[in-house]
Structure 1
Amino acid sequence: MFLAIVSCKDKVNTSRANEVVSGQGHPKLILTKQGVLDIKKALGTVPIFDASLSATKAEVDAEIEEGIDVPVPKDLSGGYTHERHKRNFLMLQKAGVLFQILDNDKYAIYVRDMLMAYAKLYPTLPVHPQTRSYARGKLFWQCLNDSNWLVYTAQAYDCVYEWLSEKDRNILENDLFIPFAKFISEGNPQFFNRVHNHSTWGNVAVGMLALVIDNDELLENALIGLKVDNLKAGMKDNDGGLIQVEGQKLGFYGNLDEPFSPDGYYNEGPYYQRYAMYPFLIFAQALQNVKPELKVLEYKDGVLLKAVNALINLTDANGNFFPLNDGQKGMSYYTDALVSAVDIAYYYGGKNPELLSIAKKQNKVVLDDTGLSVAMGVKAGLELPFQKKSINLSDGKNGDEGGVGVLRSHGLELVYKYASQGSSHGHYDKLSFSLYENGNEVIQDYGLSRFVNIEQKGGGNYLKENKTWAKQTIAHNTLSVNGQNHFKGKFEIGSKHHSELYFYNDEQPNVQIISATEDNAYPGTKMLRTFALVKDGDFEKPFVIDLLKVKSLTKNQYDLPYYYLGHIMKTNFEYNSFSQLKPLGKNNGYQHLWNEALGKPTEDYTVFSWKNNNLFYTLTTTSSKADQLILARIGANDPEYNLRKDPSFILRRKDVKNTTFASVIESHGSYSPVSELALNAYSHLSSLKIILDNEDYTAIELITKSNKSKVFILSNKDNSKDKNHNIKIGDKNYNWIGAYYYR
């Protein structure tokens, strides 16, 4: 049996898990018998836990008063039947927990009666009437949501298992649970047997039930996937995601191996990492309790615990996840999935006091052993601030498929994506970036095109504009060549390639820097893009240097957009606004951009300033008189108003092979609508120019308004930290050690 031979080479702190005795009866998945005793002893003495319990009790009591409703499924996301079944599984899990903690039979009766209603309904159900999904469920329009249901209801079943009669258990298992598990696995191998967040939920759903009913066959399927001979290698789902490739590990362990890098970054991006963390961690917790010999939290050097730390580091100052790839803005670590993740990571990961500060902000805990531990730590005042510093997270199974870097300094956060494709949720945006200040977007990434669970908008699912706009290269702050997408916008090509880290250095707090290359997005064209977040006493705040060097075998049109947010203040160029708007192009996302105005540089540097959130920002970029400066706005060819009408400033350079874009982004000054006073509303720069640009080095000079010269030099070929460089520019010698120079 597979279960007896899983081993781990590396160790993390899971000493708490090893205290649990296997075979202790029920509950045993998330709550344990000993844990319930500990919770009961602590009731009334641990404020956050008590408040979480009280809120849960009030919610479930209200549902019990309303009565049980198990409707025949018919709706997509956001519709009544979808939301009712979703509400039911959440209430079932909570009611089961309340039964264990409060010893009140009304909660067990509620769980039993609802599960019996499902056991009566389920055998009568065909596949869901909505046909949108590649793997239709029965309760829901897709197997993904059916799996959500089973992950939660398995926990409820565990909590009332010993209270139920043997007759009731036989009915529930034979008429509901086992057929349910087999439908989402054996009945839908194209859903169950792949590497994707969908499959993680499916694997965990089957695995959680297997642990409750001690079914080794179901557990083996959950852990390593189905043995399906007739599933074609390379088969794709309707999102373009690979279902199975030859020799690929599948099941729960496959989904741990492939998407996670050794740093804990999940290749689909933080939005879907957040979504997947609940099943990953809740199943890991259950396995630690029931099958501690598997040591699942030690797997891949403790990657699941690292993933929690990575996720928190992929949030802005307000706790919102950066919208890399498909990601809805506003999703944050206040979501229940991260409450659970923080509690589990604290309990099993060495009780890091910094996690307590996140839990304190969340102001609620999970009602189990892990939540009690966190609540007691907060009560004891053990928390320390979570230090979100600059970080570089590798991507790929082995950490060698690019990555995501976050540079942080004095409220500014620059997010640089040079990662792999990111599975079916990936966007075509190599070397793209976004910029935040104090949790507010300055230069934005659009995120996804979807109104999640809002029925009026496409049934709450992905809109067609997600493919025609949000995934397109021009929709991001990165280079578009000849109006085309990276990798021609094809998943099959993009999934074969990734950008490469050139170097990352956060050792000097005044100059934090990250640089990466991309050689495959456009065959014959190579890009090297470098970002430096610089703290300099001659500037009010840290500023960003953006250096993009392009080499190509052919002459091209280069478009470099900046999706700023706010109101234009000032430019140093004149532009003509169009009285009749036309799209900027016909395809590849350009069809969704209104061409609002067109300008030409009047100097060898271009200045573009705007105001947002009562702060001022200026983009200064080197330019030539042949460049075009485009003021664009999202929203063309959008008859159903599915897109936000956000602005963009696009630098267009035509008919050139090799070129370098050198830019500086400053945050400066403020405006008070109360005093009606604008302070420091203008850029600190009087000019910006490229003073050297060859195969070996690129150098730019910044001249401040006080006539001080600042020089930044990048070594384009040698990224060694120890290399001694000595070059002459004009009549001045520059000598330094390492890949860059700034003074």
Structure 2
Amino acid sequence: MAQQRILTHNEVKHHPKLILTQKGVAEIKSKLGNIPLFDTSLEEAKAEVDAEIRLGIEVPVPKDLSGGYTHERHKRNFLMMQKAGVLFQILEDDTYAIYVRDMLMAYAKLYPTLPIHPQERSYARGKLFWQALNDSNWLVYTSQAYDCIYDWLSKEDRDLLEKDLFRPFADYISIGNPQFFNRVHNHSTWGNVAVGMIALVMDDAELLDRALYGIKDDKLTAGMRDNDGGLIKKEGQKVGFYGNLDEPFSPDGYYTEGPYYQRYAMYPFLIFAQALENVKPELKIFEYKDGVLLKAVNALLNLTDADGDFFPINDAQKGMSYFSRELVTCVDIAYYYGGQNPELLDIAQKQNRVSLDDTGLSVAVAIKEEKAKPFVKKSIELRDGQMGDEGAIGILRSDDLELVFKYAAQGLSHGHYDKLSFSLYNAGQEVLQDYGLARYVNIEQKGGGNYLKENTTWAKQTIAHNTLVQNETSHFKGDYETGSQHHSEKYLFNVDDENLQVVSAIEENAYPGTKIQRTMALIKDENFENPFVLDIVKVNSATSNNYDLPFYYLGQLLQTNFKYETPKTLTQLGDSNGYQHLYKEGLGISDGNNTSFNWMLNNTFYTLTSVTSKGDELVLARIGANDPVFNLRREPAFIIRKKDKKDAIFISILETHGSYSPVSEFALNAYGQIKNIAVIHDDEDYTAIEITSKDDKKWWFVMANNNNNNSSNDGQHQLYINDTTVKWEGPFVFKPIN
């Protein structure tokens, strides 16, 4: 095998050109040793790759699911090749080029011998990995490594690699798997970008066209369905990289699958955009769809809690955050190509590392020059849908509280059946949780690291979320095709007054014949220690139903104001739609007064006060029934159940208050301040709530249910309540009552 080839005077270097550029490499070299964050990132990469080189090259015959040895080895290989290629360019050390070349040659020898991966779980099996998605991961990263050593390799070596490895690889994940490649999904994005990246390295116009626009023969995917039963490609649907840019992203940069998968997809989206900007600047990819890729980075950062963890909307593993390698790349690219927003430098400082390319250098230089400004997350609404007209995610923020309200579209195959659900965070700590996904990613002991059956039987079901359930049946009966046809409708999102922030949305398709409107307010008042949440759920139906409203609280139950019985033997709450996974740990019956539920989490106290009617059931539940191998977390829930009602209204206030010190053993302000909540008016047009504190101060919150107009002409309201005429402008009012 040839060693390093010395270029003659007649030969011109054309690489690297994808992510690293020749100009960028020269600038990096000129600044080495003087840019602390870049220098540190470089040293970390060098130490990691040097350790791998000492271990030697291993390219095993694939056999495992994710989390297994061969899976993790091939994943490690592509990550190390990409870093080694960068190190070769920056440090000019042939050791790294030799490592990449020898690794690629080993793959070129192995790949032609490989059958389809032996594990049969995926709808699109790869060859190196159990699914074509991971094969695409490999090619996205490996293309960058190949680009870095392209000019160093002999023509003979390049010809061999392209004939035996890269071209067959690109053909297999595209033409060989059209059901994977020709669809709109994060999987397809990786596939499109993998083919596009290697196309740019090899100057292959045919592959690049395939990557950008998909496979032209629609017959290849006609009638094909994915694992969730959805059509792979709808008639006339745009596919390829542009199709995946158009459909899943809203004009605000929200990605319909949710932030967990947006984070995952953003790496190929942005790394390919960077490569296209370098190689095909005439495409002006960062300007496409009004700069949606750069907007998407801002959207992602706003979809995180105080600790930087992404809100677990739809399928999502908790704990994924903007500290991931994907977000390091995203932040650097967004800074470099998006007008050098100094607030992004604040995130980069927290990440404490940068990409080893032109974009990372620009970030590191700016941080050294102290250009960073705080990234301040405010209340924000992120619209869903290609045109921004398919609902939204509304986030209300006040002090340390963050309320996340979901009134969006289905979210493709990773979507959950949880219209009008919400979760609440306090200083980065989940208080009322969304369960997230049922999967232990890359942990082989749990289903090969893949989705567990409980993701379908529990995590996606409506009862697993903090939202209304009718007749123990999930929204859209848990049918993907039906759910994909509908989205909730925004009623209002108003955060003009930081002390009174209100979001409201309507769902009329989850249960045919039933209209659900949920209004949530985050209210800051000097009479309360912290802002509190007001939650109003109105249900109107053509038929009588049973309604359940769960609250998945985290922490230790301290006290209730209602009596409940605890059974000696635990039984499941229901037979299907997720209810089979809930144990009934206690049951109380409302006497018609307010229900109070008090608990403690991380030395902070919380009180949920709810309006309940006489005979309402108050269920203490816990996740974990029908789960013999303990795939589910054993976490608690409090469920308010109303039976045999056509119309119903659920009113609750959640207070955050007090503290407990295990050292001093003092509990301060351990009880909530709400004395009573009353519905003082409720009809089709208006709902009025009276709130009374323990010191007998009163407030009214009044909501116009059918007029969300703010204008002085159409937004004037007048309502006669308790011998008092209330006048206000706009869809709602919150006022003290003397």
CA distance in 2, matches of 1:268, 1:604: 41
State whether residues 353 and 384 of structure 1, in contact with CA within 8 Å, keep that contact through their aligned partners in structure 2.
yes
CA distance in 2, matches of 1:173, 1:492: 41
1:395 deviation in Å? 0.1
CA distance in 2, matches of 1:679, 1:601: 29
Match of 1:728 among 710, 720, 728: 720
1:625 deviation in Å? 1.2
Look up the match of 2:8: none
State whether residues 572 and 582 of structure 2, in contact with CA within 8 Å, keep that contact through their aligned partners in structure 1.
yes
Look up the match of 2:199: 210
State whether residues 259 and 266 of structure 1, in contact with CA within 8 Å, keep that contact through their aligned partners in structure 2.
yes
Answer yes or no: is 1:451 the counterpart of 2:440. yes
CA distance in 2, matches of 1:93, 1:251: 24
CA distance in 2, matches of 1:248, 1:229: 10
State whether residues 13 and 151 of structure 2, in contact with CA within 8 Å, keep that contact through their aligned partners in structure 1.
no
Distance 1:51 1:232, change over 3 A: closer
SS of match in other structure, 2:336: helix
Match of 1:663 among 652, 655, 661: 652
Look up the match of 2:555: 566
Counterparts of 1:278-677 in structure 2, within 5 Å, are 278-677=267-666
Look up the match of 1:681: 670
Please give the per-residue CA displacement for 1:573-606, whole angstroms capped at 9, x wherever unaligned.
0000111100000000000000010001234211
CA distance in 2, matches of 1:634, 1:566: 14
1:355 deviation in Å? 0.2
Answer yes or no: is 1:741 the counterpart of 2:716. no
Amino acid at match of 1:256: L
State whether residues 440 and 451 of structure 2, in contact with CA within 8 Å, keep that contact through their aligned partners in structure 1.
yes
Q: Give me the TM-score of the superposition, normalised by structure 2.
A: 0.97
CA distance in 2, matches of 1:526, 1:253: 37
Answer yes or no: is 1:694 the counterpart of 2:686. no
Look up the match of 1:8: none
Please give the per-residue CA displacement for 1:328-355, whole angstroms capped at 9, x wherever unaligned.
0000000000000000000000000000
CA distance in 2, matches of 1:720, 1:465: 43
State whether residues 256 and 409 of structure 2, in contact with CA within 8 Å, keep that contact through their aligned partners in structure 1.
yes
Please give the per-residue CA displacement for 1:66-103, whole angstroms capped at 9, x wherever unaligned.
00000000000000000000000000000000000000
Please give the per-residue CA displacement for 1:110-169, whole angstroms capped at 9, x wherever unaligned.
000000000000000000000001110000000000000000000000000000000000
CA distance in 2, matches of 1:460, 1:184: 22
CA distance in 2, matches of 1:274, 1:734: 47
CA distance in 2, matches of 1:298, 1:501: 28
SS of match in other structure, 1:255: helix
CA distance in 2, matches of 1:204, 1:304: 14
1:179 deviation in Å? 0.3
SS of match in other structure, 1:521: coil
CA distance in 1, matches of 2:230, 2:440: 22
CA distance in 1, matches of 2:592, 2:649: 16
SS of match in other structure, 2:105: helix
CA distance in 1, matches of 2:220, 2:174: 13
Answer yes or no: is 1:50 the counterpart of 2:42. no
- RMSD in angstroms over aligned alpha carbons? 0.8
Distance 1:687 1:262, change over 3 A: same
Answer yes or no: is 1:144 the counterpart of 2:133. yes
CA distance in 2, matches of 1:502, 1:24: 58
1:233 deviation in Å? 4.0
1:235 deviation in Å? 2.6
CA distance in 1, matches of 2:181, 2:668: 58
Amino acid at match of 1:731: D
State whether residues 309 and 321 of structure 2, in contact with CA within 8 Å, keep that contact through their aligned partners in structure 1.
yes
Counterparts of 1:211-250 in structure 2, within 5 Å, are 211-250=200-239
Match of 1:164 among 153, 161, 169: 153
CA distance in 1, matches of 2:606, 2:690: 20
1:730 deviation in Å? 1.0
State whether residues 234 and 246 of structure 1, in contact with CA within 8 Å, keep that contact through their aligned partners in structure 2.
no
CA distance in 2, matches of 1:544, 1:186: 52
Amino acid at match of 1:642: N
CA distance in 2, matches of 1:491, 1:239: 7
Q: Which runs of 5+ in 1 are unaligned?
A: 1-22
State whether residues 410 and 416 of structure 2, in contact with CA within 8 Å, keep that contact through their aligned partners in structure 1.
yes
CA distance in 2, matches of 1:587, 1:422: 23
State whether residues 357 and 385 of structure 1, in contact with CA within 8 Å, keep that contact through their aligned partners in structure 2.
yes
CA distance in 2, matches of 1:311, 1:496: 25
State whether residues 621 and 661 of structure 1, in contact with CA within 8 Å, keep that contact through their aligned partners in structure 2.
yes
State whether residues 499 and 525 of structure 2, in contact with CA within 8 Å, keep that contact through their aligned partners in structure 1.
yes
CA distance in 2, matches of 1:347, 1:513: 36
SS of match in other structure, 1:520: coil
CA distance in 2, matches of 1:125, 1:233: 28
SS of match in other structure, 1:507: strand
SS of match in other structure, 2:172: helix
Amino acid at match of 2:585: E
Q: Which runs of 5+ in 2 are unaligned?
A: 1-11
CA distance in 2, matches of 1:469, 1:241: 20
CA distance in 1, matches of 2:498, 2:143: 49
Following TM superposition, the consecutive aligned residue runs of length 4 or more in structure 1 with deviations greater than 2 angstroms are 231-235, 239-242
Amino acid at match of 2:397: R
CA distance in 2, matches of 1:702, 1:556: 28
SS of match in other structure, 1:414: strand
CA distance in 1, matches of 2:169, 2:443: 27
SS of match in other structure, 1:221: helix
Amino acid at match of 1:84: R
Look up the match of 1:276: 265
CA distance in 1, matches of 2:341, 2:230: 36
CA distance in 2, matches of 1:161, 1:24: 9
Answer yes or no: is 1:716 the counterpart of 2:705. yes
Amino acid at match of 2:623: I
Please give the per-residue CA displacement for 1:278-309, whole angstroms capped at 9, x wherever unaligned.
00000000000000000011000000000000
State whether residues 224 and 252 of structure 1, in contact with CA within 8 Å, keep that contact through their aligned partners in structure 2.
yes
CA distance in 2, matches of 1:300, 1:164: 39
State whether residues 592 and 615 of structure 2, in contact with CA within 8 Å, keep that contact through their aligned partners in structure 1.
no
Please give the per-residue CA displacement for 1:178-224, whole angstroms capped at 9, x wherever unaligned.
00000000100000000000000000000000000000000000000
CA distance in 2, matches of 1:99, 1:684: 64
Match of 1:67 among 56, 62, 66: 56
State whether residues 604 and 689 of structure 1, in contact with CA within 8 Å, keep that contact through their aligned partners in structure 2.
no
1:569 deviation in Å? 1.1
Match of 2:111 among 104, 122, 128: 122
CA distance in 1, matches of 2:14, 2:282: 17
Distance 1:234 1:414, change over 3 A: farther
Give % identity.
68
